[in-house]
Amino acid sequence: MPGETAENVRAELLSARRADEAFGQVDRRFRVFFGLAAAALVVINAVVAATLLYQQREMRESALALYDRAFVANNDMNSARVLFQRFADQRDLASGMPAISRANGLLDPVADALDVAADSADEPSLRTERLETRSAVLAFEADFEDSGPAVWSRLKATQARLDEVSAHALSRGSEARDAIEKTASNCKLLLLASIIAGAALGLVTLVILGRAIAISTRKRLSRMANYDAVTGLPNRNLLRQRLSESLVGVRRGDGRLALLSIDLDRFKQVNDTLGHQVGDLLLMEAAERICRITRAHDACARFGGDEFAVLLHNVVDA
């Protein structure tokens, strides 16, 4: 039993000495953890911002490419309309095979312009529409009928079709321009939202870190102010508080109260001859024995040095 008691005392002493060190390590780790968390939030926010900027550039380049294709197609369609109008004027005035053949020679530039417009189409439906219009234009090369109401009606219908296809090309250019503006606006909003969210997260992290540090500091200071570092018993300050509370109860008639003062003889000699580590073991052993012989509702404390105190409640007599 004495050996076991000594081992328990050594273990409790080691635990008491390491308690403050462990608390300090936890506090430092806590600070480091939240510091890393704050840094991670900053990095994440920077990555999000960089990603948004990259996506903005990609979408803007895509929209600009679409606008360029639509612009080129619109120019080609306008050229085709002008060239076909010139053909229509010549074809309406042509009479006889030689004049009609000369007028039909004006269709080749129209077909070339429509070919270029079809190649620059960004959607299959637009390409199909322009190629079909090209076929309708080239159909006049096989028509050598003299001018008349039927021919003029077909010319007007083809011209109207060219106008419609040209209008489609113009609308695609407008859509591309609107897409550029919308993309730029959306990316700016997303970037602003990312910055605000990152700032908010960083602020929340700092607030949580501050509160956690304040709580841990208060707990540590409270323990240092009220408990003995060697024995783990309440110190003079906490005993005074408990004594004041107990005296209030005594005045209300809650029973009698006794305060015992205990000191160890020749404790200084133990420290001087065997060292402070053995002196701490002695204090731990004394604290353990005092607490072991007191009741659960009594209070033990260490005043300092080799002085202990025991506050006894509900005492019957001396």
Q: Length of the chain, please?
A: 318
Residues 118 and 151 occupy one common structural domain: yes
Residues 189 and 265 occupy one common structural domain: no
- End position of a domain, from candidates 200, 226, 252: 226
CATH number at residue 160: 1.20.1330
pTM of the model: 0.41
Residues 10 and 152 occupy one common structural domain: yes
Predicted pLDDT of residue 310: 92
**Residue 225, pLDDT above cutoff 70:** yes
Q: Is residue 63 within 8 Å of residue 180, measured between CB atoms? A: yes
Residue type, 177: R
Residue 29 to residues 20, 167, 223, 284, 301: CA-CA distances in angstroms? 14, 68, 20, 30, 32
Residues 222 and 248 occupy one common structural domain: no
Residue 305 to residues 6, 228, 294: CA-CA distances in angstroms? 21, 11, 21
Residues 107 and 124 occupy one common structural domain: yes
Residues 168 and 71 occupy one common structural domain: yes
Work out whether strand 307-315 and strand 299-304 pair parallel, antiparallel, or are unpaired.
antiparallel
Q: Write out pLDDT tens, residues 187-221.
A: 777 777 777 777 777 777 777 777 777 777 777 77
Residues 36 and 170 occupy one common structural domain: yes
- End position of a domain, from candidates 226, 249, 281: 226
Q: Return contacts of 133-138, CB within 8 angstroms, 24+ apart.
A: 133/158, 133/161, 133/162, 133/165, 136/161, 137/80, 137/84, 137/107, 137/110, 137/111, 137/162, 138/107, 138/111
Give the torsion sign (CA, 70, 71, 73, 74).
Answer: positive
Residues 57 and 135 occupy one common structural domain: yes
Q: Write out pLDDT tens, residues 152-181.
A: 787 788 888 878 877 777 777 677 667 767
Q: Angle 79-81-86 (CA atoms, 0-180°, nearest 5)?
A: 95
Residues 56 and 100 occupy one common structural domain: yes
The lowest-confidence range among 62-71, 275-284, 295-304 is: 62-71
**Residue 44, pLDDT above cutoff 50:** yes
- End position of a domain, from candidates 169, 198, 226: 226
Dist CA 23 CA 226 (whole Å): 16
Tokens of 2: 């004495």
CATH number at residue 270: 3.30.70.270
Dist CA 19 CA 87 (whole Å): 100
The lowest-confidence range among 21-30, 81-90, 122-131, 271-280 is: 21-30
**Residue 1, pLDDT above cutoff 70:** no
**Domain total of the chain:** 2
Q: Which DSSP letter does residue 234 get?
A: B
The lowest-confidence range among 110-119, 214-223, 305-314 is: 214-223
Closest by CA position to 180, among listed 74, 72, 66, 49: 66
Q: Which helix (H) or strand (E) segment is 313 a member of?
A: strand 307-315
Residues 100 and 217 occupy one common structural domain: yes
What's the gap between Cα 109 and its chain centre? 58
Residues 112 and 164 occupy one common structural domain: yes
Residues 145 and 283 occupy one common structural domain: no
Closest by CA position to 305, among listed 259, 262, 273, 275: 262
Predicted pLDDT of residue 282: 92
Domain boundaries, position 7: 1-226
